[in-house]
Amino acid sequence: MRPTKSRKDGHISISLPKLNTSLATPLTSQQLSEWSRTIASKFVPDEYIQQSSCKGSNLCFKFEETNFVKHVLQQVYREKDSYGWLHIPKPSNSTVLIDYSSPNIAKPFHAGHLRSTIIGNFIKQIHKALGYHIVGINYLGDWGKQYGFEKYGNEAELVSDPIHHLYQVYVKINLDAKLDKDVDRKANEYFKRMEDGDPEALKQWKQFRDLSIKSYASMYQRLNVQFDVYSGESQVNTYIPKAYDQLKRSHLLQRTEDGALAIDLEKYHLGTAIVQRADGTSLYMTRDLASILMRREKYPFQKAIYVVGSEQAGYFKQLFQISNLVEYSNENLQHVGFGRIKGMSTRNGTAVFLQDILDTAKERIMDYMKQSEEKSQLENIDAVADQLAMSAILIQDMKSKRNKDYEFSWGRMTDARGDTGVFLQYAHARACGIERKAGIAIDPDCDFSILKEKEAINLVQCIAQFPETVEAAFATLEPSTIVNYLFKLSHATSTASACLRVKDMDPDVSRARMLLFWSARSTLKNGLHLLGIKPIEKIFGWDQGQVYSTSVLPGEERVNSISETTGLFFDFIQTFRLSNNYIYREQLSQNLLTRQYYIEVDVNHLISFNADLANKLTTTPADYLPMFENAVKDSAKRILFANPKTVSNLDVPDCQVTLKSSANVVQIRDLNSDYIGKLVRIPGIVIGASTLSSRATQVTAMCRSCRNTKVIPVTGGFSSIVLPRNCDSQDLNGEGNNCPMDPFVIMHDKCKFVDSQVIKLQEAPDMVPVGDLPRHTILNADRWLTNRVVPGMRAIVMGIYSIFQSKSAKSTGAAAVRTPYIRIVGLQVDQHNNGRGKPHFTDAEEDEYIRMSRQPDLYETFARSLAPSIFGNMDIKKAITCLLFSGSKKILPDGMRLRGDISVLLLGDPGTAKSQLLKFTEKVAPIAVYTSGKGSSAAGLTASVIRDPASRDFYLEGGAMVLADGGVVCIDEFDKMRDEDRVAIHEAMEQQTISIAKAGITTILNSRTSVLAAANPVFGRYDDMKSAGENIDFQTTILSRFDMIFIVKDDHNESRDMSIARHVLNVHMNRQTQDAVMGEIDLEKMKAYINYCKAKCAPRLTAAAATKLSSHFVTIRKEMKDTERDTEVRSTIPITIRQLEAIIRISESLAKMTLSPYANEQHVDEAIRLFKYSTLDAISNGGADGMTRSDLMSEVQLIEKDIQKRLPVGSQVPCAKLKEHCLRDGYSEAAFSRALTILVRREMLVLRAQGKMVLRQGF
């Protein structure tokens, strides 16, 4: 069935000769003609088919056009995004697995992989649309000879660009292999190590795989391709033995002459398939068989589709035949092949990488767009160019039959005039433009009889063909069927749009045509969706015009005129005084002398002067603030000029009014539509501040025709203007000039501008409810309120809660949706970053805190109140207490700053409540940010440079250590952080600043934070038989920055275990007393007391304490030196001047806790004790009974050998007797205990009878 060539023959025709081929006995031409005439004469018309006729051996049918058009367009309207496939029966619980793309790591992403990606994504999209449950798998070639990185690899280059770097290594090592045959042997040995599970080889392989997947994922995202699973040959290793077992049970395996295993498939005309090399390593065939096993188990599928090049057809026939022979059914396994791409290369040479293909296409599209002035001025030109480039790549690949080879052409692909992806996107954008410009609602019940034009009927016919096109494409899995249909639809739409005008027509005509073009656009969008392409709704320009809102005052109320209201504000500035001081008049005078043209007004003062005026200012600030500023300008004129009446207002500088208030704050999450247009006061933390831009306050426009100028005022914030459509100037006779429509152009040099800045404010972490994400809002600051804050600062913002129409809302057609923002009129910056802590304390509070400071056991009480539900760990809690109070910050005469913040690292076994301590610290610290090492990047911890989507300028957004300025950063899973991310906080931990030099931004942000970090040892649990350095996988540079390092071990101690168990059970059974659960000091009081101490006290060491501390430090250094000399091993945790400063800070924090102005000898003694218990204990960990770790290790090994000699396999002996023999032989008790523990872990010995008997059970 196809459209007729001429409308006089009807609308569609059926070719009987084509039907003739399906008959058992084909008819002659004469018989076919007679058959055609018979059918036509007997045809009975109905409401859709008006008549039937014959033309030779073809049957022609003519539609009843009105009913046909109505049926098609209403069907499109009903089915909308499902039009084209909604009529196809949906499968019930049918899973389809699609294996596509499948690049190899360490090798270039060649053209075959690109075709597999594009075609596979189409197959996925069409199955998904038809209701199948899809599992899209990217089966990476990740299991091979990953050899050569040790020689040619570079870690930095690997992380920055893994695909290119691994390919470079691959090329170099292959060149070596050609010159030296031994290289190939080593590569095979390395691969054998991988298959045998060698940890080092697998660790390196996993790094290559993870980095490659991350790199590919970002490129797939540009192509709008998503995978459900990233699998690979490596993940089927555990299934390979099962595959071999099934092959053996099926008696298919044969040994070849060279020792390999093969399967003879000659009787199926498929040759011989090798499944195992002579050295025992697996091949593709083996791994693919194992993958079928794995996939059937993990994703029970009804059909599996492999999208691989047609050259692999023979291989898949072998695979599917073997699968059938080992009792997997091969009926639901399908290979979808495709031809090759010829002539693909990039500007960089012959090796083709996916990134290069995408970037080259985008560059060419960008070059084309920049040829047009209109296109080059697009705000979103980069995003549009990228989408057009991806569409061009996808359509060029899918427009030809998939089994055919095609010639790749950059020029043809990016041409907007031919049948290309760019053309399809332009066609969709033009159809969207018709809807936007017409502004007519879609009416499915319009008058369809209006659509009689040939172009309209042709377009409806084309739309009606889409469902059968989808069916045909699904049956053959042929994307070109959809692509070629979309070209036809786009041409029909373009032809119709050129002839059928929608805007400014009769309303009935406009509605009917609007529905027609909407249906065409919807069909085109659905087709692009099946191809995996995101349609572009608008390519050139943005809608102009703006909707304005204004406040409406009650009609009964007498409204003062503008001059009266301005006069009231003028009186306030001139006459308001406190204690005979005219504070605002004097403030304005001082600011004018220093050329700071602003005045800061306290709203409380205005309330006391005129409550009604203050109320109007707070409820309708957008109306009253300009009057206030006019009043300030009048006051400034009186101050600056002796005879102000003779001075023009143009000669007086504009003065800004900023407001401050002590009114209650509103949280960001509580802002709603009720606050729009009102004055609000919100607290938060600044996370981003843009660079300054210029915003027009007055726009001067000139008429092109008569040169008349017009000054248009612009309100503050994000408001915009609309130029007048007509010129209202008059000639000398008083008659209007005959100027054309839209004559005005903006004269930028005559406009007035002010500085403007966009700020992003986020709820402070301590204001966010548990389990919720922090909310943020956009602020707009102008004039003297710009450049007042940087990321990390806490501030209370006073502003007008306003709205503007964002570009995203415009593009979606949501005309009534507005985005809220706050236009700043006042800014109170928290200079000391006290956060929620009170900057002022009442007398009663001060008395209470002073009484607390005099408690003799305050230190112990405070430590016990920290996480009281956690048993023990008193010294760790004391260390955290010191961290919360911190030492004293110092600024030396030369300007150098010494930090007072204390950092603590908890390193130890899982289940030792490290994370719980961090969580509690986050709650008790006045300012705290909790983050996890694995989920934190360098930018997330320090600061990131963000591009403003509107201005395309860069600005800073602060990370965790900036947001926690003045508080504590709790970093859990510190060991899981990447090394490059951990290095980023070096400066923040010691200098307490973060230096940024990115994207043209060079600045320093404050990061005055304490760091409380928790980590696990290298081996998961702390291994006593290894040194601290072997257990701690951190560099010396980061360890030296921690003031205290605690090794938290889960030692087995019966009495201690019993106490912990009893404590945990009591917690779970709610049997603890309220005091034990809450602690002796409640949470809020602890937080307030910490704030008070940090605000009021900055202790210094006494001379005696300093002397004592210096002698102890020298002693510690000497002991460390002796230990390192004896063991001939450098300590991982160094003892440097930093550690001396750490003890000083701990001493000062202990003094600050009791509000003591000096840190005395008792404070130093406790600080040294804490330091010895933590850091020094961590250094010496691994020794016992005065023995060094190396001596202890030697003795343990001797005891192990001795026990193995004494106890034959299967014998048992009392543990006490065995211990007695060892001690008699001169071994230490500590060495015996550790040797026994190690042998039990190795399952060589088993403890019985509650540890009293020892059984030897293995070698």
**Whether 1127 contacts 1189, CB under 8 Å:** yes
Strand 133-140 relative to strand 229-232, pairing: parallel
List alpha helices for 925-1001, DSSP H. 938-941, 960-963, 979-983, 986-990
**Whether 416 contacts 369, CB under 8 Å:** no
Q: Which of 1149, 1158, 1144, 1156 is nearest to 1108 (CA)?
A: 1144
The sign of the CA dihedral 671, 674, 676, 682 is negative
**Whether 209 contacts 142, CB under 8 Å:** yes
Q: Could you please report the per-residue DSSP string of 747-788?
A: -GGGSEEEEEEEEEEE--GGGSPTTPPPPEEEEEEEGGGTTS
Question: Which run of H or E residues covers position 1227?
Answer: none
**Amino acid at position 411, single letter:** G
Question: Catalytic residue among 113, 317, 529, 1152, which?
Answer: 113
**Whether 939 contacts 956, CB under 8 Å:** no
Q: Is 107 a catalytic residue?
A: yes
Q: How far is CA 932 from CA 463, 913, 1105, 1166, in A?
A: 54, 15, 38, 31
Question: Catalytic residue among 11, 62, 70, 110, which?
Answer: 110
Alpha-carbon span 1177 to 955, nearest angstrom:
45
Alpha-carbon span 859 to 855, nearest angstrom:
9
C-alpha count within 13 angstroms, C-beta hemisphere, residue 545: 7
Using a 10 angstrom Cβ sphere, with 0-12 exposed, 13-18 middle and 19 or more buried, the burial of residue 379 is middle
> What are φ and ψ of residue 492, in 5° steps?
-65, -40
DSSP state of 1049: -
Alpha-carbon span 848 to 1088, nearest angstrom:
11
Question: Catalytic residue among 107, 124, 399, 1152, which?
Answer: 107
Strand 95-99 relative to strand 303-307, pairing: parallel
Query: Measured in Å, how far apart are the chain's first and last C-alpha atoms?
Result: 81
Q: How far is CA 1106 from CA 858, 893, 1036, in A?
A: 24, 20, 27
At residue 1220, the 3 state secondary structure works out as helix
At residue 26, the 3 state secondary structure works out as coil
List alpha helices for 421-561, DSSP H. 421-438, 454-464, 466-476, 479-499, 507-530
Q: How far is CA 212 from the centre of its chain?
A: 18
Q: Is 529 a catalytic residue?
A: no
**Whether 791 contacts 957, CB under 8 Å:** yes
Pair of tokens at residue 361: 């296409």
Q: Which residues have a Cβ under 8 Å from the Cβ of 615 and sit 6 or more positions away?
A: none
**Whether 508 contacts 448, CB under 8 Å:** no
Active-site residues: which are they?
107, 110, 113
